[in-house]
Homo-oligomer: A and B are copies of this chain.
């Protein structure tokens, strides 16, 4: 169901906005890699109900990304951080690994 990597990233950004039950089922399917049938059995419901719930969650996550763009912004930020490290790595700091590591660490906090 859709791109697992992208949905995993969407869950990282917006998973907290789902209900506990929705999060739990998304985790069973995408993190624990259980099949729809296994989740259905575990939840005492039908395979179709789990399928529909997962599709609905994906729509909710995509709707949030459409409005807040946290995933896209985060990916752009990572590229900008790499660009900063590249610029510094070509400056007079290029042999100062201690300071470059400090800057990388600080960028990691952003």
Contacts and interface: CB of A to CB of B under 8 A. Distances in A.
Copies of this protein in the assembly total 2
A68 B17 contact: yes
B68 A87 contact: no
A54 B68 CA distance: 21
A80 interface: yes
Contacts of A64: 17
Chain A: number of interface residues, binned into ranges: 20 to 34
* Candidate in A76, A81, A88, A110 with the most chain B CB atoms within 10 angstroms: A110
A34 interface: no
A107 interface: yes
25 contacts: A14-B68, A16-B67, A17-B67, A17-B68, A68-B70, A70-B70, A76-B109, A77-B110, A80-B109, A80-B110, A81-B110, A83-B106, A84-B103, A84-B106, A87-B102, A87-B106, A88-B88, A88-B103, A91-B92, A91-B93, A91-B96, A91-B99, A92-B93, A92-B96, A93-B93
